[in-house]
Each structure stands twice: as C-alpha cells, then as structure tokens.
Structure 1
C-alpha cells in the first residue's frame, strides 16, 4: 500500500458518492473511467493476473478481524476503511462482501485475427454475458467482441457472473457489425433451423462464434455474413437453449476439434 489507510464515515464523502454511482448505474464506468470490483474473489482475480487497484475499500470489521481481506486491501495504491453499515449501503450483493476495489476502466482491445473469438450480438442479460465470458476464458476463447446493444461488459452484474474471467480475456464493446469484416475471422453462428450439425461438421480455426439476442437470435444481416451456421442437436426435444449454455457447448466443441 503506497499511502496509509483513510477512515471514512460520511455518506457525502466524494469516494462514497462515486461508488454509489458505479453500483447503481451499469454503464457508469464509461463516464467515470473506473470500474468497481466487489468481493474477495474478483479482487483476488485481479491481483492474480498482475493487476493493481487504484483504491481499495474495506469494511471496518474486515480490516480488524479478517487478515486475508486486509492483506488484499493493502495491495492497492490507496485504502479506505468505512463503517460496516456504510459499506452495506454501497454493496450490490445480498450479503455485502466487505471488500471492493476501484480500477481504471480498461482500454478496449484491438480485435485480432489470430485467436478464437466470441462475438456478442445484442445479448442483453448481464448474467448471460458474464457466464459466457467465464466459459470463454475456461475453454480457450481468448477474445470477446460485444456489438452495440449488448449488456455493459464491465457492469457489476456482468463482473459478478464472470467470476474474474474479464482479466484473462481481450475485450472490446460497442462495436458495429461492420467492424467484424475487418478482423478477417470466419464467423460461425448457431440456429435451430440450420442443416449442418455441430459435432458432425468441420470447424475453421481460428474462428469467431456469433451468439445473439436471447429472443431474436443473431440479426439477419450478420447471420448472412457468417461462413457457417450450425444446429446444436437437442434429442430431448426442447425448442432452444439458453444462449450461455449454447455458447459453452460451442466453445467445448472447438477445443475437441482442435485436439482431434
């Protein structure tokens, strides 16, 4: 820790006001230039990837009684100790985590054509987006490109669902579909109406999986631009899969094919 901890008890403290904005507005990180990471798991994931927080915020009881959280907090450039009730008011969790960190909003990655990629086409549920990022990081999809209309990648809910996956991925958001053409990767989408079946059809490598809106699927113009459209076999007879479940199946199939 570069500076001694500062104790905060006032609700109108500028840091508290900033944190309140970040927890209440999913897109506030774009305006304020900072991302709020709440909880030991996210903070640990940041440090494990070599990151360092600008600011740690820790509840007084955790500072006094939980050495592991105190050690994490001391790894930030600055640390603020706040009263437990005040921390609870800031928390976006049912059970406040007692520790959080502020980092600079990461710069958008420049799309690269040498790695398997996930393209999010207007996927709006934050839980789905975070789950897809988590599966991508686990199954070797190194890059995620979010088109306009997709849930904010660095919002608190997406971060919680991602469980630290953000720090192992190249991320860019707010892209127009036209930006994908310049990347040069073959686009592969899924559709329940496709004739080709996942698992029975060769996959290009590297490739970009395109997963679409929960209700509408991939937008028609983007679907037409795909080099390949595949159907996920569903012998149980359901009409469709949750988009995050479909993504995990596709990513796993990519890895199986790459080892074959």
Structure 2
C-alpha cells in the first residue's frame, strides 16, 4: 500500500473527474469508470473479488478506515470533508468512495435466467430490480435502449451491491434479444394466466416494462407466456419494482435450489 495523496483544491483535475462521475448519470460511459460511494458499496465490491482503481477518503474516513479498506488498492487520495461534499451526488456525503473500472461490454448469454428491462426510467426502480434479480437467482439483466443507465450513481446505490454479481448488458435493441434461448415471460395488469396458478419455466427471461406504458407491443408479441399478479386489495396496478420482486420470487420457488 502506498502513502495517500492529499488533495485540497476543488479545481484539481482528478477532483473534477470524480465530481462528474458522481453527479452525471452517463459519465461512466465516457470515462470508463464507475463511482462507488460509501462503505457498503465499497465492501460489496471487495466481497465479490473486485478491486478498485482508486480509493478516496475524507480525512476522518481515512483515520478510522479498516486495514481491509486501506489496502484495497495502490492509489489512495485523501480530501477534506468539504471537498468530498462537493464531489458527492448525495445530500450528505459519505466518508469514502471507490473508483472501479467499467466492466467490458459483454455478450448476451442465451441460456441463463434473465431480466429484460424495457425502457424503465426511474433509477430507483432499476436498482431495486437488479437487487431482486440477484437475490432470486437471475444473473443476467438486459437493458433495452431508453432504460436508465445501469451504472449511473443512483442505480448503483439502489442496487446495493447487486451489480457486482450480475452479467449486465445495456443499450440493446429488440433484435439483440434473439440471442436469448429461454422462454420470454411478460406481466400484464389485465391479461394472461394468474401467476399463482401458473407453472413457470426455468430458466426464463422476465420482461419488465416502462413505468407508465408497460411492455412494448413488439415484446408482448414475442412473449411465450403472459401472466398477471392477483391483487385482492383492488389497486389498479403495482410499482414495476414490486411486481418484479413478486415474479422473480415465484420463479425462484420452482427454479434454483432453496434452503430447507
């Protein structure tokens, strides 16, 4: 581990790049790097065997950092608290963050359990779905063009570390989904089989659609199975992240091995 570099100027070139990574939802595509803010995300990366390219600590954060975090990478920068606040996209900045290299653009895997995101706009919904996907054994998430940027700071925070165990592909067109060799399942609020009465295939690919418009007509036409979730309370529809959690759990019950 090398000695940390102390930076105190907000006009420093590195600080400007970090600020852009933390506050611009698509800056990671230009810089080829991802900003992870806070102890939880940083530890989640290390737990998955990942290693950052840069570690950034406030002076207080560095003074209390564990040996594991101090030794996470060779390049370490320490900044005053007010400078971290200027970098952060959060109302209250964390005391540390990592910069990791953006994973190389992978190919669509045809035979694995998958979630397809069709133009979802809300970063919180996208991150929550990634978290549910990881929890229920879905290791691939495919984002069609128009979906919130998968590695944006807000989506990464909402994913709570799920990103690091997932095969993520974004910017896809409908034709790219032809590489999928598993059944395509689509949810609807008004048509299809009741989820709780349906035998679900495994592996499969669940499609989650736009918050307002739902799944596109083209994707609906491609689906091998349409299902709907029973809502005995009578609400018109469910939030897409909530619907995804219910559907993915229903698949997990009959798919991956569950604990006794």
TM-score, normalised on structure 2? 0.96
Distance in 1, matches of 2:192 and 2:3, equals: 63
Q: CA deviation at 1:158?
A: 0.3
Matches within 5 A, 1:1-260: 1=1, 3-64=2-63, 66-68=64-66, 71-258=68-255
SS in 2 for 1:199: helix
- Which runs of 5 or more structure 1 residues have no equivalent in the other structure? none
Distance in 2, matches of 1:73 and 1:96, equals: 19
8 A Cα contact 1:122 1:150, kept in partner:
yes
8 A Cα contact 1:57 1:101, kept in partner:
yes
Q: CA deviation at 1:113?
A: 2.2
C-alpha deviations, 1:203-228, integer Å up to 9, x for none? 12210000000000001011100111
SS in 1 for 2:174: coil
8 A Cα contact 2:111 2:180, kept in partner:
no
Aligned residues: 257
Q: CA deviation at 1:186?
A: 1.2
Q: CA deviation at 1:12?
A: 1.2
Poorly superposed stretches of 4+, deviation over 3 Å:
none
C-alpha deviations, 1:159-196, integer Å up to 9, x for none? 11000000011100000011111222211010012131
Q: CA deviation at 1:36?
A: 0.4
Distance in 1, matches of 2:249 and 2:147, equals: 23
Distance in 2, matches of 1:257 and 1:100, equals: 39
Question: CA RMSD, aligned part only?
Answer: 1.3
Q: CA deviation at 1:71?
A: 4.0
TM-score, normalised on structure 1? 0.96
Distance in 1, matches of 2:229 and 2:161, equals: 28
- Which runs of 5 or more structure 2 residues have no equivalent in the other structure? none
SS in 1 for 2:195: coil
Distance in 2, matches of 1:89 and 1:126, equals: 22
Distance in 2, matches of 1:130 and 1:220, equals: 24
